[in-house]
Amino acid sequence: MLKKHLALAVLVTLVWGLNFPITKLGLRTVDPFILTGVRFALAALPLVFFIKRPAIKFSYVAAYGFIFGLGMWGVINYGIERGVSPGIASLIIQLSVFFTMGWGCVLFNERIRGPQIAGAVLALAGLLGIISTQTGDHALLGVLLIVLSALAWSIGNVIIKQSGVKEIFSFMVWASLFPPIPLFLMAWWMHGGAPFEHLTASLDLRATGSILFQVYLATHFAYWGWNSLLRLYPVSTVAPLSLLIPVFGIAGSMLITGEHLSTTNLICIAVIIAGLAVGLVPGYRPSLGKNPK
């Protein structure tokens, strides 16, 4: 990989990793579903008026929008709001790698090699270790929500695979049209009109900066950069770089939100990262894998 492309990959993973603690800053004053809805509304508007719709069935665009916006990011943000630290969330979401491998095996007859099975076992062991350290029903529910969001991300990868879309940036912009309304309805269903009534007051400088970071860096820039690399290099070359996301996520969470990790959690994190590394060894090219955020 050329140095300029490696630098782009590191920058993208840095943005995606920092997105977790920066999102946490917004969640301190804004409801998680409203925060996510505003993010995707701004990701879609006004660009949909200037960017041509992707040349695929629109049902794929709508399905991906619902899965990615509500099923993945809405659930992630709710999980963080319920008590999962952003650093841990940035790590657990990477388990989508193994869900994606499973979908590839079931739906597309892809072969799962021994290292992928070993990696999945290691990652699962680390995840169970993290779950065992959670105190309180809220924190445990939060972890399970992040696992659910990882599953949603893998389903989104299946949709991308089935659609055959080539215009990824256009696809993301148009798909972003669909999450806001169900996200706002979810916020209303859970808390009534209160989060909306106090939204203007909640959008302080910190929350506004969090939303702008999520829209223009974590969504627009990072998706463009990552998918540009996927067009230039084999997936087996690009995908392992996603291991930097939880590294930056955990480090950023410690610096930005003051996250503290116990020795047990650090060991579990190391086990999960080792599992992800084993699962992404060269030789396996997951045709479904399109890393987000």
Condensed to tens digits (0 to 9), the pLDDT of residues 172-213 reads 999 999 999 999 999 999 999 988 988 888 889 999 999 999
* pLDDT (0 to 100) of residue 293: 53
Is residue 292 one of the residues assigned to a domain? no
Q: How much is the pLDDT for 282?
A: 55
Domain count, the chain: 1
Question: What 8-state DSSP symbol labels residue 54?
Answer: P
For the CA atoms of 137, 21, 64, 152, what is the dihedral angle to 10 degrees? Answer: -30
**pLDDT one-digit tens code per residue, 232-291:** 776 656 766 777 888 898 889 989 988 887 888 788 888 888 887 787 665 544 444 444
| Span 214-231, pLDDT tens digits | 999 998 998 788 877 877
Range of the domain at 81: 3-279
* 287 in a structural domain: no
CB 172 within 8 A of CB 43: yes
CA 206 – CA 23 distance, rounded (Å): 10
Is 285 among the domain residues?
no
Mean pLDDT of 11-35: 94
Is residue 290 domain-resident? Answer: no
CA distance 26 to 32: 8
Which pLDDT does position 285 carry in this prediction? 46
pLDDT of residue 287: 47
In this structure, is residue 288 part of a structural domain? no
The CA–CA distances, whole Å, from 7 to 11, 243, 263, 281 equal 6, 15, 32, 21
Q: Tell me, what's the pLDDT at 237?
A: 65
Task: State residue 135's pLDDT score.
Answer: 64
Q: Give the residue among 85, 74, 73, 81 at the shortest CA–CA distance from 21.
A: 85
Q: What is the mean pLDDT of residues 24-41?
A: 95
Global pTM exceeds 0.85: no
- Is residue 286 situated within a structural domain? no
- In this predicted model, what pLDDT tens digit does every residue of 72-125 receive, in sequence order? 999 999 999 988 889 889 888 888 877 877 777 777 677 777 777 888 788 788
Q: Considering the domain boundaries, does residue 293 fall inside one?
A: no
Per-residue model confidence (pLDDT) at position 158: 82
How high is the pLDDT of residue 217? 95
